[in-house]
């Protein structure tokens, strides 16, 4: 009787508390340890990798992977520049464009709302496939070897637009817009001065999504970029990994043409590339994180 | 009220559209200006070496008569930082000779197949395209991706014809018509056991008398006992190197693989010495099944005795990595003259290698069509493409510019025909086996002076497989092959030695292959071979 009184209303028992905390600690470790292992392997000497495999406590450390990675620092730096540039420009543009699309279709009083919602939704159900995409970008728009070919395909993500629309619908009360209008604000002013400031959480979330999307994108580079000096850093990495994979699967071909094998990086170098590739996104993450507290929903009704 | 609202939304929408059109506009602009920036031609005259190309009739057409044209070359090679410099040099040469420029489009190995198929499917303009039997060449021919080359070769490729072994031009044909020009290199490859030389010397291993895997047994034991830390025979089942499958038919009889190979495992074989009948046997045939059983049994015993790495079933470490560390004693490998040196160079020159060939080299369609250039259907000027290809096959200056880069920048000449590559020079594409005439490549450190003469001899001596020139059309048995591929993939690890009771599993696999329709495929294969024989009156 006394005991229960001393506890506050929503407290859980200490045991449950430990179990829950323990569970989350395990989860957290499961997320963090692989990353730590990648970092350690990137500093492991190739000898101990071959003899003992991956280990958190390698027998022999080595910086050689980073040395050989940065021996050709010009390429890496340039690729980094491309990635950072595309990501920065892409994020800003993407969030702006998606907000500009999401806001009108969130307004109940917009007559073309059903059309534009459907127009957006339709692209989620059907896509033209790679071939038509390739034709449009290379032959229609002539974007081969152009940075825009890395930017344009990812600017509007329909699903994210729907999340934003739902956010606008649920947080921005129509009365607010009504009163702003009565005070003499035009649509643009309402959007910029009232809607956007109130929507910071969703804007930040979308910015994070976009950042990750643009940073991780290598597929568009695979399709549209031919010039070595225009590759983003992720594509450089994925290409090295794919090349290794390819040669492993085509042992016979590789055996016939040893030249193909000569410059393949070993595993510590692959891991070093992964470390270099994930660096910036780890730094960006915390800046967005505080906005996640609120959470987002797309609601029960879609489309 | 309603109308008012409508109007007020216009700015937002207008902004979106204005933005989109703006992006498009500047996209078009920068796209064009890239096209226009072809480097200026006319610089240093090509070296005296180019005189050797004079045999080509294309010379007779004065450059001024030909309209300028850009020949794009799509090839299997990692893009290099100095590609543009090499391209400019090549352009200077071709501009003067045939008023053409070239556009180098290297594509890295892993992307090559997907990207080129995409380019073919979308009808992108290409001229010369690298292709090969292992890049679905014959499939692409039947889709109509390439131009017929017989006439073009006769007209503008006389130099190629003069230099290429005639066997080469038998392979890339479909219904009698030529669709690609093979790269001039070694036409076939034998299979060999390749050893680390210092260990062979240390234990005085008589490698010339080791002709089968079974012969290796006593020496495996010795090396295992005397050299801890060395894996006598390395198998990486997790990455497609399934040890036992690689050489079994070569060392146990005259059977050679033909036809479709689901999951890269040969299923159909032909005795190449009794060529009058051309009777196809499948792995269900008792004799073949017996060979299979002996081989997997042997590998199992090797594994149990520790001659094979313990993680043979799952390991994905490449053989090369382990060779660089000196951890492998013997490996089954392909062989051609100079293979040991190539292996040494490919593994950082730390160890010497020595090989003993255990299989008579045979020219098959697949091998002879292993590296070729075709002319794309989308080419606007196939004549010019053939002229460029002719130069790549006949002119030492051009082909060495392509594969080795620019003299004194990417390599130093140390002899008339010999070079020393400059380390980290920005151009090292490793394409000598990809393009043109490899026999005109400058020799690199370690390669013997007589490398190319021994290749020519090797090519001339190579035995012709009775089915050379035959291509199997899978169209009628696609489903069966898909099913067989699934079965083979499931049971692949029995060849690594790491699985218990491989003989029993082999029976199990063969039963499944039977129900997957292997006999139907065999019948189809036999039918096509018979038809092919009748056609070629053999």
With residue B191 as reference, give the H or E element that holds it.
strand B190-196
Do A71 and B30 count as a contact with CB atoms less than 8 A apart? Answer: no
Nearest to B425 by CA among A263, A189, A104: A263
Q: What pLDDT is attached to residue B413?
A: 94
Nearest to B50 by CA among B22, B10, B90: B90
Q: Which two tokens stand for residue B377?
A: 């259907």
CA distance readout (Å), B45 to A285, B285, B347, B449, B528:
57, 63, 38, 28, 53
Shortest distance, CA A228 to any CA of chain B (angstroms): 6
Do A46 and B432 count as a contact with CB atoms less than 8 A apart? Answer: no
Tell me which chain B residue has its CA closest to the CA of residue A227: B79
Shortest distance, CA B332 to any CA of chain A (angstroms): 9
Q: What pLDDT is attached to residue B480?
A: 94
Q: Which residues of A touch B429 (CB under 8 A)?
A: none
Q: Which residues of A touch B325 (CB under 8 A)?
A: 46-47, 50
Do B122 and A253 count as a contact with CB atoms less than 8 A apart? Answer: no
Do A139 and B124 count as a contact with CB atoms less than 8 A apart? Answer: yes
Beta bridge partners of B73: B104, B128
Q: Which residues of A touch B430 (CB under 8 A)?
A: 259-260, 262-263
Torsion of Cα atoms, A48 then A53 then A56 then A62, to 10°: 30
Query: Would you say residue B473 has pLDDT above 80?
Result: yes
Q: Which two tokens stand for residue A124?
A: 């989620």
A127 or B531, which is more confident? B531
Q: Hey, which residues 156-185 in chain A have their CB within 8 Å of chain B? A: none
Q: Find the mean pLDDT for residues B496-522.
A: 93
Q: What pLDDT is attached to residue A283?
A: 79
Query: Could you tell me if A232 and A238 are in contact, meaning their C-beta atoms sit under 8 angstroms apart?
Result: no
Query: Would you say residue B241 has pLDDT above 80?
Result: no
Tell me which chain A residue has its CA closest to the CA of residue B8: A187
Beta bridge partners of B129: B74, B374
CA distance readout (Å), A241 to A250, B115, B225:
14, 17, 37
Count contacts between A and B (CB, < 8 Å). Answer: 152
Nearest to B104 by CA among B131, B70, B132: B70
Tell me which chain A residue has its CA closest to the CA of residue B109: A243
Q: Which residues of A touch B19 (CB under 8 A)?
A: 97
Do B110 and A245 count as a contact with CB atoms less than 8 A apart? Answer: yes
Report helix angle A158-171 to A73-106, nearest 10. 50
Whether this model's ipTM surpasses 0.90 comes out as no
Do B317 and A50 count as a contact with CB atoms less than 8 A apart? Answer: yes
Nearest 5 degrees, angle CA B454-CA B457-CA B459?
110
Query: Which residues lie closer than 8 Å to B31 by C-beta, 6 or more apart?
Result: A141, A142, A143, A144, A145, A146
Q: Which residue has the tokens 């702003």?
A: A180
Query: Would you say residue A140 has pLDDT above 70?
Result: yes
Tell me which chain A residue has its CA closest to the CA of residue B241: A251
Query: Which residues lie closer than 8 Å to A301 by C-beta, 6 or more apart?
Result: none
Q: How far apart are alpha carbons A227 and B83 in whole angstroms?
A: 9
Q: Note the pLDDT tens digit of each residue in B85-99.
A: 999 999 999 999 999
DSSP state of B269: E
Shortest distance, CA A171 to any CA of chain B (angstroms): 20
Do B122 and A226 count as a contact with CB atoms less than 8 A apart? Answer: no
Burial class (CB in 10 A: 0-12, 13-18, 19+), B75: buried
Q: How far apart are alpha carbons B218 and B233 in whole angstroms?
A: 13
Q: Which residues of B touch A130 (CB under 8 A)?
A: 118
Shortest distance, CA A142 to any CA of chain B (angstroms): 6
Tell me which chain A residue has its CA closest to the CA of residue B106: A226
Q: What pLDDT is attached to residue B32?
A: 37
Query: Would you say residue A57 has pLDDT above 80?
Result: yes
B377 or B278, which is more confident? B377
Q: Which residues of B touch A72 (CB under 8 A)?
A: 424
In SS3 terms, B114-153 reads as HHHHHHHHCCCCCCEEEECHHHCHHHHHHCCCECCCHHHH
Beta bridge partners of A257: none
Q: Find the mean pLDDT for residues B473-494.
A: 92
B117 or B242, which is more confident? B117
Burial class (CB in 10 A: 0-12, 13-18, 19+), B7: exposed
With residue B518 as reference, give the H or E element that holds it.
helix B518-535
Do B23 and A223 count as a contact with CB atoms less than 8 A apart? Answer: no
Shortest distance, CA B344 to any CA of chain A (angstroms): 10
Alpha carbon B411 to chain centroid distance? Answer: 25
Q: What pLDDT is attached to residue B538?
A: 55
Best mutation target among A236, A257, A265, A267 (most B Cβ atoms within 10 Å) is A257
Do B110 and A243 count as a contact with CB atoms less than 8 A apart? Answer: yes
Q: How far apart are alpha carbons B386 and B392 in whole angstroms?
A: 10
Q: Which residues of B touch A247 (CB under 8 A)?
A: 109, 318
Q: Which two tokens stand for residue A303?
A: 């489309």
Helices (DSSP H) in chain A: which residue ranges?
2-6, 14-42, 46-52, 64-71, 73-106, 113-125, 129-135, 148-151, 158-171, 174-182, 187-189, 196-198, 200-216, 219-224, 233-249, 251-256, 259-262, 267-289
Query: Would you say residue A168 has pLDDT above 60?
Result: yes
Query: Would you say residue A269 has pLDDT above 90?
Result: no
Q: Which residues of B touch A46 (CB under 8 A)?
A: 321, 325
Nearest 5 degrees, angle CA B40-CA B42-CA B46?
130
Do B122 and A229 count as a contact with CB atoms less than 8 A apart? Answer: no
Cβ density class B397-413: b for 16+ within 10 Å, e for less:
bbbbbbbbbbbeebbee
Q: Note the pLDDT tens digit of each residue in A76-95.
A: 889 889 999 999 999 999 99
Do B333 and A71 count as a contact with CB atoms less than 8 A apart? Answer: no
Q: Note the pLDDT tens digit of each residue in B176-233.
A: 899 999 999 999 888 899 999 999 999 999 999 999 888 999 999 999 999 988 899 9
Q: What pLDDT is attached to residue B275?
A: 60
pTM of the model: 0.81
Query: Could you tell me if B286 and B243 are in contact, meaning their C-beta atoms sit under 8 angstroms apart?
Result: no
Using pLDDT thresholds of 50, 70 and 90, give the confidence band for residue B10: very low
Beta strands in B261-343 (DSSP E): 268-271, 281-282, 328-335
Q: Note the pLDDT tens digit of each residue in B130-158.
A: 999 999 999 999 999 999 999 999 999 99
DSSP state of A194: I
């Amino acid at each position: 009787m006394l005991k229960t009184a001393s506890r506050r209303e929503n407290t859980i028992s200490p045991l449950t508390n430990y179990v829950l905390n323990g569970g989350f600690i395990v989860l957290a470790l499961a997320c963090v340890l692989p990353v730590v292992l990648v970092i350690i392997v990137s500093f492991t000497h190739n000898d101990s990798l071959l003899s003992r495999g991956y280990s958190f406590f390698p027998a022999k450390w080595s910086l050689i992977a980073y040395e050989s990675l940065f021996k050709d620092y010009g390429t890496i730096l340039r690729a980094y520049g491309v990635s950072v540039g595309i990501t920065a420009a892409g994020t800003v543009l993407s969030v702006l464009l998606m907000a500009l699309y999401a806001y009108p279709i969130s307004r109940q009083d917009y007559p073309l709302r059903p059309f534009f919602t459907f127009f957006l939704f339709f692209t989620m159900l059907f896509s033209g496939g790679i071939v038509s995409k390739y034709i449009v970008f290379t032959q229609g728009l002539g974007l081969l070897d152009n940075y825009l070919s890395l930017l344009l395909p990812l600017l509007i993500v329909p699903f994210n637009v729907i999340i934003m629309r739902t956010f606008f619908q649920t947080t921005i009360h129509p009365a607010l817009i009504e009163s702003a209008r009565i005070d003499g604000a035009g649509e643009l002013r309402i959007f910029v001065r009232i809607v956007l400031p109130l929507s910071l959480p969703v804007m930040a979330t979308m910015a994070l999504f976009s950042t990750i999307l643009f940073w991780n994108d290598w597929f568009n580079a695979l399709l549209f970029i031919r010039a070595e000096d225009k590759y983003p850093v992720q594509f450089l990495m994925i290409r090295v990994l794919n090349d290794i994979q390819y040669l492993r699967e085509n042992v016979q071909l590789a055996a016939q043409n040893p030249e193909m094998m000569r410059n393949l990086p070993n595993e510590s170098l692959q891991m070093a590339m992964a470390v270099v590739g994930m660096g910036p996104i780890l730094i960006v993450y915390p800046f967005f994180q505080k906005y996640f507290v609120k959470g987002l929903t797309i609601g029960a009704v879609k489309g | 009220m309603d109308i008012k609202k409508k109007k007020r939304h216009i700015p937002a929408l207008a902004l979106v559209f204005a933005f989109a059109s703006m992006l498009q506009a500047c996209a078009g602009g920068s796209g064009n200006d890239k096209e226009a920036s072809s480097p200026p031609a006319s610089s240093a005259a090509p070296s005296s070496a180019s005189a050797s190309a004079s045999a080509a009739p294309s010379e007779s057409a004065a450059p001024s008569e030909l309209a300028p044209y850009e020949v794009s070359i799509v090839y299997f090679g990692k893009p290099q930082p100095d590609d543009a410099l090499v391209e400019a040099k090549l352009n200077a040469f071709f501009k003067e000779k045939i008023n053409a420029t070239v556009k180098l489009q290297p594509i890295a190995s892993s992307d090559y197949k997907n990207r080129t198929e995409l380019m073919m499917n979308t009808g992108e303009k290409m001229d010369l395209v690298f292709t090969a039997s292992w890049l679905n060449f014959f499939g692409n021919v039947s889709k109509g991706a390439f131009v017929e080359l017989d006439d073009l070769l006769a007209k503008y490729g006389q130099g190629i014809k003069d230099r290429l072994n005639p066997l080469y031009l038998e392979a890339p044909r479909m219904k009698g018509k030529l669709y690609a020009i093979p790269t001039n290199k070694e036409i076939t490859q034998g299979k060999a056991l390749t050893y680390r030389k210092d260990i062979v010397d240390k234990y005085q291993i008589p490698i010339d008398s080791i002709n089968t895997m079974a012969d290796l047994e006593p020496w495996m034991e010795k090396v295992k006992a005397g050299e801890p830390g060395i894996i006598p025979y390395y198998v990486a089942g997790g990455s497609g190197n399934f040890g036992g499958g690689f050489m079994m038919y070569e060392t146990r009889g005259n059977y050679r693989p033909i036809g479709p190979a689901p999951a890269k495992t040969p299923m159909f074989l032909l005795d190449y010495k009794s060529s009058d009948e051309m009777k196809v046997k499948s792995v269900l045939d008792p004799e073949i099944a017996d060979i299979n059983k002996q081989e997997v049994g042997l590998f199992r015993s090797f594994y149990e005795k520790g001659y094979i790495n313990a993680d043979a079933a799952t390991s994905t470490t490449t053989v090369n990595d382990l060779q660089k560390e000196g951890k492998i004693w013997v490996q089954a490998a392909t062989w051609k003259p100079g293979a040991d040196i190539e292996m040494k160079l490919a593994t950082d020159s730390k160890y010497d290698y020595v090989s003993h060939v255990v299989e008579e080299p045979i020219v098959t369609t697949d091998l002879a069509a292993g590296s070729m250039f075709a002319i794309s259907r989308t080419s606007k000027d196939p004549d010019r493409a053939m002229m460029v290809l002719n130069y790549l096959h006949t002119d030492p200056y051009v082909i060495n510019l392509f594969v080795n880069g620019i003299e004194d920048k990417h390599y130093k000449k140390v002899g008339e025909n010999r070079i020393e590559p400059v380390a980290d020079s920005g151009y090292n594409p490793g394409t000598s086996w990809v393009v043109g005439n490899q026999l005109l490549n400058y020799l690199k450190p370690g390669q013997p002076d007589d490398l190319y003469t021994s290749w020519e001899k090797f090519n001339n001596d190579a035995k012709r497989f009775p089915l050379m020139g035959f291509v199997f059309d899978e169209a009628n048995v696609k489903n069966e092959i898909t099913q067989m591929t699934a079965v083979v993939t499931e049971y692949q690890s029995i060849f690594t030695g790491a699985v218990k009771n491989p003989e029993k599993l082999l029976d199990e696999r063969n039963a499944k292959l039977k129900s997957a329709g292997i006999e139907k495929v065999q019948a189809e294969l036999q039918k096509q071979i018979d038809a092919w024989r009748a056609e070629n009156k053999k």
